[in-house]
Amino acid sequence: MDKHTSKATLIDTIYHNIKRDIAQRILEPGEKINIKKLSERYGASETPIKQALNRLISENLIENIPRKGMKVKTLQPDEIDEIFDMRLMLDLFYTKEIITTVNNNDSLREQLEKNVKEHLEIVSKPMPIDAYIINYEYDKIFHELYLKSSGSKKIVEIFHNLNPYMYTNYVFRRQSPDRDVAGVKEHEAILNAILSQDEQALKEAVTTHILNSKRTIGLILKVDRML
């Protein structure tokens, strides 16, 4: 491994470690970032720490406030409402195209079927404490494949910019196992509607899934404010 590759790998590792610590609330929402402490925690110099933090700033996981420094992003209820309202618009906009693409593209269909099957197997049995990361990845990939089927690169880009990871610690680590299963079954209903080429059923399944996710996060945030 050359010097540049080694440096890039270190930054990637720190970047993923900080994201993990945010999701696990080791770094709490609103907490001020102390670069020196992070350097000690991850056993790295401050330079790659800063570079990793810059990536997280671009993803809106970390806020950089002039003259006040950096802090972990705090989710607000109105922001959740806006994110999921936009998610719903994205998911409903290209339903016809998505149905056509999935039913005529063996690769996309098989990837969606494999995602739902494996994800349902994972959430249907007791999961270790850090399995929320796997849960999140399957969820993200499902929605990426769904939107990719629209044929619009821009809509996939918008989905990424909405930053679904931002609420990982509010959902996949904190919701009930029953809700984990229900969420994947909602994916299954979406896929079944696509394969049945039933656009109305697809719109209903998508709407149910997005509103249930929005409601779950809203409840968790409400409970947090009461504690």
* pLDDT computed for residue 19 by the predictor: 85
pLDDT tops 70 at residue 8: no
* pLDDT computed for residue 6 by the predictor: 58
Share of the chain above pLDDT 90, in %: 56
CATH class of 3-72: mainly alpha
Give the CA-trace dihedral at 194, 195, 198, 203, to 10 degrees: -20
* pLDDT computed for residue 85 by the predictor: 93
pLDDT in tens, 43-101: 999 999 999 999 998 887 899 998 889 999 887 778 888 889 999 999 999 999 999 99
Is pLDDT larger for residue 176 or for residue 143?
143
The two structure tokens encoding residue 86: 């936009």
pLDDT tops 90 at residue 196: yes
Lowest mean pLDDT among 23-37, 61-75, 159-173: 159-173
* pLDDT computed for residue 59 by the predictor: 80
Is pLDDT larger for residue 178 or for residue 94?
94
* pLDDT computed for residue 2 by the predictor: 45
Q: By CB neighbour count within 10 A (0-12 exposed, 13-18 middle, 19+ buried), where does 129 fall?
A: exposed
Tell me the C-alpha distance between 141 and 120, whole Å: 14
Which CATH code of 3.40.50.720, 1.20.120.530, 3.40.1120.10, 1.10.630.10 fits the domain covering 77-226? 1.20.120.530
Q: Where are the domains of the chain?
A: 3-72, 77-226
* pLDDT computed for residue 212 by the predictor: 93
% helix, strand, coil for the chain, step of 5 = 75, 5, 20
* DSSP SS3 for 71: strand
**Average pLDDT across the chain, whole number:** 88
Residue 174 pLDDT level (bands cut at 50, 70, 90): confident
* pLDDT computed for residue 116 by the predictor: 98
Contacts of 219 (CB under 8 A, 6+ apart): none
